[in-house]
Structure 1
Amino acid sequence: MSQTPPQTGAHLIASSLVDLGVDVIFGIVGIPVIEVAEACIAAGIRFISFRNEQAASYAASAYGYMTGKPGVCLVVGGPGVLHAMAGIGNSQINATFPLLLLAGAAPTTDSATKLSFQQLDQVSLLAPHTKLSLRPASLSQIPTTIRDAYRASFYGRPGATYVDLPADYIQTPLGDACLGSNACVAAVEAPPKVLADPTRISAIAAALKGARNPLIIIGKGAAYARAEDAVRGFVEETQIPFLPTPQGKGVIPDSHVLNTSAARSSALKGADFILLLGARVNWILHFGTRFAKGVKIAQVDIVAEELGRNGTDSGMSVVGDIDAVLSQLLPELRGYRHPESSSWRKMLQQTHERNLVKAKAKEQAVTRRGDRLSYQRVFRLIEDGLLAKAGSPDGLVYVSEGANTMDISRSIFSISSPRQRLDAGTYATMGVGLGYAIAASIAYPEKRVIAIEGDSALGFSLAEIETMARYRMPVVIVVMNNGGVYHGISDNTDSYGGEWEKDSRRQQGRLPSTALGFETEYHKVAEGLGARGHRVTDEEGLRKAVEAAWEYKEGPTLINVVIKSGAGGALSFGWLEKKEEGGKAKL
């Protein structure tokens, strides 16, 4: 509870957030919300000021995922809200990224047709895109309105909520009516755990016992739910092979012997029983089209609407919290243990080992003198360098974005703890990377954040390097620079000039739509924004740059890695490809 009475509406907003346990806010200030931000800072809340509302809203949503309580974003009205809608959509679709957006608004005394400064009907605009969109009915209702929106953002399925803060509410001196019981709000407790229907639990147990090829798929919902202890215990007890989704990695360490990630396609098409823990049957799981015909699926989700998506049978699925459901399921499976000698386990292990050999060959192929570095080789050298310094994957948090950058890196960087790998997520949103990295730096101050960025993806939020520098965040940013979207444009020269400068398409302004500036000097841009920068073209240079970046802890470091392009190849994104086992999309 606040120790001193608030003096204005801004102070009432700040004290409400303090009462709810909010300790950090992401955003950009302007009239009239600068008064709110300053009141929050005076009340002990940390305010992280961004260069773009889009990145701020992404950061707040990711902070909600990593901490388990809603991330809070504060922006101005009108264009500030429009920019922050990117984070609203990202929060809603990811379903594990709780976000509370607060925004300034025109005074309540101004009519809708007055065209006041940055006037926009934000409550109506955001109502279809949020779980709850509110404006306090009066100044005295600010605390309860903020509380209701805060609670709604992480009760049930997590998502985004919104509270409108009119300028006159922010600036009005408080009277006695605002200093009574309504001026304080009780902290919102974590959502209660939900148990599943016991009859369905029994059905799941019976089906699992009768399965020859069982598989557990672990989604980011399991990571968000802090269910790692329950999931790890369940897998150890039952010895069922598991497959993590990209952000489900780390719920069980990637190094676990039952991890089937390198045999992903075989696991999906061979399983006759699948237990889905916090995962949705969407494009990340190919809409279920790669499951075996007749496969039995038991899905565990926090909301009933998710069950049965894309034609899967919801008859055996349950609504409930993952750890609570597993605590119900384990007693029903007492004595059950999938045999290590089963043909299913042997096939998955053999496929896993065969594909790892292929992948390792690409990672370990030393770059010949004069050749460009490949994605696989860069990622192998980076992880080796980082682990030599950190000693364990537990001390590292990875953020990755960019189609090929994200697709390939997820199979190389080993994750041992939950919520320590973030990527573009369900929307495949480009531009989340640096906002996520900033949020991770705050959520995990004892860990080192590594942002692996495609050169196109970096451009969405490049200015946030200055935000990192301003707050002295030692983020290591690696830019995979191939001069274009997806596979880049040219390998004809090692520097500016040469064949690229002579290219007739460039001279005539007829570049392909995927082209970016060739060998853009991102490291110099980073230096101008207050970071340290390194340009890398060979293996030794990369090793030295990773070591130097690790040692520098006073701010961010950007490593600009000029890599081999795939110019002339087909445009692709591994998750959407249809390849046989062993292809890039399955590792």
Structure 2
Amino acid sequence: MSPGLVPLTPDLAALLGALIPLEQPYYDAASPGLAIAQTLKRLGVSVVFGVVGIPVVDVADACTAQGMRFIGFRNEQSASYAASAWGYLTGQPGVCLVVSGPGVVHALPGVLNAQANCWPLVLLGGSSETGQRGWGAFQELTQVEVCRSYTKYAARPASATQIPRTLQAAFRHAINGRPGPCYVDLPADFIQGTVAPVEETWGPVARALTGPDASAVAQAVACLQAAKAPLVIIGKGVALARAEDTMRELIDRTNWPFLPTSMGKGVVSDNHPRCVSAARSAALAEADVVLLLGARLNWMLHFGQRFRSDVKIIQADVCPEELGHNRSAHLTLAGDLSVTVAQLVQAIRCKPQFVPFDSTHSVYWTSLASHTQRNQAKLAAKCTDDAVPMSYHRAFTEIKTALQPVYDQVVLVSEGANTMDIARGMFDLAHPRRRLDAGTLATMGVGMGYAIAAQVYYATQRVVAIVGDSAFGFSAMEAETAVRAHLAPIIIVINNSGIYHGVASDSDYQAKARSHTLPSTALSPNARYELIAEAVGGKGYLARTPQELFQAVGDALGQSTLCLINCIIRPGSQQKLEFNWLPNKAQPKL
């Protein structure tokens, strides 16, 4: 030791530490993973969906330690679909946690799906270290820029200490105005460093509720009251806004006929006497005043082209930019749907001279009733076909009959082209947010993610996912996710051996396969999808006849694990593919 130097004893080190505070943090250091988890918990998050790896494992573990549930998926697409569905079901942003680079890219379909459906979602993506950016770092990608086109807000915190406030900003953007997805970038060096514990006292972000001008509401009520053929279209925006109670009162007070969109079903019961779903085309074509609530005039409503030329459209939406899109609106009601519907009800309550729609002497209502009766008779005839392999309608009849004892508790997930379209008309709903389907973006592959999210949310009810065989193939391994998470959805694969339809017979399939001339829509006939469930610890069923299908559904209702029913139906034939949603050479009418 050099002369004059004093040995650094433990006591002296403690004294120096007290005298030189700049060498010590002025707070108790914590991992940023813990700070992220604490922030998410204070924002009201109870479940996080995702796929972990370096550098986000610590974040997921910290979330679990904070009492949140982390559900680890096999693919980021399904995780992001689940998180987007969670946003719709809860009204609060769903959270999806993924790794850097490919993980973020694989999660983009769920982000885009949330953007198209207007569902609140926050994607958290790990990223390469800030000091290595531009060097070709591990899984390096300009993730904020990649996500910006599909999100309302995309940001990388300036430092680890800014992570909590950046998360809060993302939640605020996701839920306010038109809900949608947001992205927060989490660099590896931020996650692996130290940061002050979260001290902010703020809690969950609240939606700022605004309503339309009172005079516009009064004009809308007067216009609808004067209509000879009024129609209310209930979109999923009403379900997302949780406006079902006032929506039911609006219909009951006015007697106005209503038409729900596919995920607007159940806001007012499909069995309500004023529901005209079975006369959809006639209602769209004959209405003279349409109240459009939380639904867009996009392809799902034929861009508004099936309305009569002199129709008066009263359009209500939380997003002012949507008002008048594709068809000029006679009146616009900009505001949150929960406020808008409540204002409409209040305006009617305060109008003593208001007269409900008189369906008894209405030519319009007589026409809708006639169309309803005729279409229901056609549907009933399709449901009695006993031929094997089964038709879609026969299979759905057996499923619905088997579910009848618990039908009021069923949450329905539906995806696939024909599978989803036909199921929409066959399964009636009496409660909101009990049907999830491919939605505005017509996204295939959402079924398993949606089913898992729905079963977590509706813990005591039965989630039944009715999916096409092609659609199931996008996310089949998420059956293991459900089993591992101790979830018990019932998955029914409608197996017609193809996309839209399969090859007419097994012998024809084999001949075409040998000559390499299989059509692009063909899938393997009689694939044993139910064995996937058995392989991962669930229970599988093969159903080829109506009786076998009925028994399989009934048995599945008594199980406490994932059940997968492989339902073999007719493959169809190679007829010309058509899509009835879209008119030919469609051009919006301004």
Q: Deviations over 1:451-508 (max 9, x none)?
A: 0010000000001001011112111111111111002112x35xxxx5543x1x2112
* Match 1:349 to one of 354, 366, 369: 369
Cα distance between partner residues in 2 of 1:536 and 1:336: 53
2:280 to 264, 289, 292: 264
Residue 401 of structure 2 corresponds to which residue in structure 1?
A: 384
Question: Quick one: structure 1 residues 173 and 197, their matched pair in 2 at CA, closer, same or farther if it must change by over 3 Å?
Answer: same
CA–CA separation in structure 1 for the residues paired with 2:133 and 2:261 = 49
Q: Whole-Å Cα distance in 1 between the matches of residues 330 and 311 of structure 2?
A: 13
- Aligned residue for 2:577, secondary structure, equals coil
> Match of 1:511?
518
2:220 aligned residue? 204
| Contact in 2 for aligned 1:219/1:248 (Cα 8 Å) | yes
Q: Deviations over 1:239-276 (max 9, x none)?
A: 00000000000000111110000000000000000001
Equivalent in the alignment of 1:309: 325
CA distance in 2, matches of 1:540, 1:413: 19
Instruction: Quote the Cα distance in structure 2 between the aligned partners of 1:468 and 1:401.
Output: 18
- Rounded Cα–Cα distance in structure 2 between residues aligned with 1:105 and 1:300: 40
1:354 and 1:43 map into 2 onto residues whose CA distance is 57
Equivalent AA in structure 1 for residue 396 of structure 2: F
What is the 5 A alignment of 1:292-331?
A: 292-310=308-326, 312-331=327-346
SS in 2 for 1:547: helix
Q: String of CA shifts for 1:110-157, please: whole Å, max 9, x gaps.
A: 132x11111111111111211000111111111111111011111111
- Tell me the CA shift for residue 539 of structure 1: 1.2
* 1:78 corresponds to 2:84: no
Residue 576 of structure 1 corresponds to which residue in structure 2? 582
> Structure 2: how far apart are the matches of 1:47 and 1:54?
16
Counterparts of 2:69 and 2:78 in 1: how far apart (Å)? Answer: 17
- Report the Cα offset of residue 349 of structure 1: 1.4
Which amino acid is the alignment partner of residue 122 of structure 1?
A: Q
CA distance in 2, matches of 1:125, 1:517: 36
Tell me how far 1:353 sits from its aligned partner: 1.3
Structure 2: distance between partners of 1:406 and 1:326: 29
| Structure 1 residue matching 2:425: 3-state secondary structure | coil
Alignment pair present for 1:90 and 2:128: no
Cα shift at 1:190: 2.2
**Following TM superposition, by how much is the alpha carbon of 1:192 offset from its aligned partner in structure 2, in angstroms?**
2.5
Residue 172 (structure 2) aligns with: 151
Q: Provide the aligned C-alpha RMSD in A.
A: 1.5
Q: Is the 1:16–1:185 Cα contact (8 Å) retained in structure 2?
A: no
Tell me the secondary structure at the aligned position of residue 120 of structure 1.
coil
TM-score, normalized by length of structure 2? 0.92
- Evaluate the alpha carbon distance shift between residue 577 and residue 413 of structure 1 in structure 2; reply closer, same or farther with a 3 A threshold: farther
**Equivalent of 1:170, from 178, 191, 194?**
191
CA deviation vs aligned residue, 1:405-440 (integer Å, no higher than 9, x gap): 000001111111000000000010000000000000
The answer (yes or no) to whether the contact 2:312–2:329 under 8 Å persists in 1 is no
What residue identity is the alignment partner of 2:364?
Answer: W
Whichever residue aligns with residue 537 of structure 1, its letter is: R
Contact conserved, 1:487 with 1:571, CA < 8 A, in 2?
no
Matched, 1:529 2:550: no
In the other structure, the counterpart of 1:338 is: 357
Alignment of 1:98-497 (within 5 A): 98-112=120-134, 114-174=135-195, 178-179=196-197, 183-310=199-326, 312-333=327-348, 334=351, 335-341=354-360, 342-365=362-385, 367-368=386-387, 371-388=388-405, 390=406, 393-490=407-504, 492-493=505-506
Query: Structure 1 residue 42 and structure 2 residue 65: aligned?
Result: yes
Amino acid at match of 1:570: K
- The answer to whether the aligner puts 1:544 opposite 2:551 as a matched pair is yes
Q: Is the 8 A contact 1:216 1:242 kept in 2?
A: yes
Q: Does 505-514 or 5-14 show the bigger shift?
A: 5-14
> Which stretch of structure 1 is more off in the superposition, 135-144 or 25-34?
135-144
8 Å CA contact 1:155, 1:191 repeated in 2: yes
The alignment partner of 1:317 has SS state of strand
Contact 2:503 2:509 in 1 (8 A): no
Q: Distance in 2 between matches of 1:356 and 1:465?
A: 36
SS at match of 2:383: helix
Q: 1:540 & 1:214 partners in 2: Cα distance?
A: 44
Query: Matches of 1:309 and 1:105 in 2, distance apart?
Result: 38
Give the Å deviation of 1:525.
2.1
User: How many matched pairs?
Assistant: 553
Dislocated runs of 4+, deviation >6 Å: none
Paired residue for 1:583? none
Contact 2:286 2:308 in 1 (8 A): yes
Q: In structure 2, what is the Cα distance between the partners aligned to 1:127 and 1:543?
A: 48
| Distance in 2 of aligned mates of 1:102 and 1:116 | 19
Q: Is the 8 A contact 1:15 1:184 kept in 2?
A: no
Change (3 A) 1:88 1:121: same
Normalised to the residue count of structure 1, the TM-score between the two structures is: 0.92
SS in structure 2 of the partner of residue 129 of structure 1: coil
- Specify the code of the residue in structure 2 equivalent to 1:76: V
Once residues 341 and 463 of structure 2 are traced to their aligned partners in structure 1, the CA distance between those partners, rounded to angstroms, is 32
Task: Please say if residues 276 and 368 of structure 2, whose CA atoms lie closer than 8 Å, have aligned partners that are also in contact.
Answer: yes
CA drift at 1:206: 2.1
Deviation of the 1:330 alpha carbon: 3.2
Aligned identity (percent) is 46
When residues 327 and 499 of structure 1 are mapped into structure 2, their CA distance, relative to the original with a 3 A threshold, is closer
> Could you tell me how far 1:331 is from its partner in structure 2?
4.4
Distance 1:5 1:200, change over 3 A: farther
> Could you tell me which amino acid in structure 2 is paired with residue 338 of structure 1?
F
Query: 1:8 touches 1:171 (CA, 8 Å); kept in 2?
Result: yes
- Counterpart in the other structure of 2:562: 556
1:5 Cα shift? Answer: 6.9
Q: Any stretches of 5+ residues in structure 2 without a counterpart?
A: 1-26, 585-590
Q: Is the 8 A contact 1:144 1:185 kept in 2?
A: no
Alpha-carbon distance in structure 2 between the residues aligned to 1:428 and 1:570: 20
CA distance in 1, matches of 2:28, 2:282: 63
CA shift, 1:293, in A, is 0.9
By how many angstroms is 1:326 displaced? 2.6
Residue 584 of structure 1 corresponds to none
Distance in 1 (alpha carbons) for counterparts of 2:100 and 2:408: 40
**Contact between 2:249 and 2:345, CA under 8 Å: does it hold in 1?**
no
- SS of 2:303's partner is helix
1:573 partner letter: F
Pairs within 5 Å for 1:17-56: 17-56=40-79
Unaligned ranges ≥5, structure 1:
579-587
User: What letter corresponds to residue 125 of structure 1 in structure 2?
Assistant: V
Instruction: Tell me the distance in 1 between the aligned counterparts of 2:199 and 2:570.
Output: 60
Report if aligned partners of 2:171, 2:205 keep a CA contact under 8 Å in 1. Answer: no
Structure of higher CA gyration radius: 2
> What residue in structure 2 maps to residue 585 of structure 1?
none
Q: 1:254 to 1:6 in 2, by over 3 A?
A: farther
CA spacing shift, 1:33–1:364, aligned 2, 3 Å: same
Q: Distance in 1 between matches of 2:57 and 2:345?
A: 52
- Measure, in 1, the Cα distance between the counterparts of 2:419 and 2:583: 16
- 1:77-112 per-residue CA deviation (whole Å, 9 max, x = no partner) reads 1000000000110010111x1100001111111132
| Residues 530 and 540 in structure 2, CA contact (< 8 A), matched pair in contact too | yes
Contact 1:143–1:185 (CA<8 Å) still a contact in 2?
A: no
Provide the secondary structure at the position in 2 that maps to 1:434. Answer: helix
Alpha-carbon distance in 1 for matches of 2:180, 2:346? 33
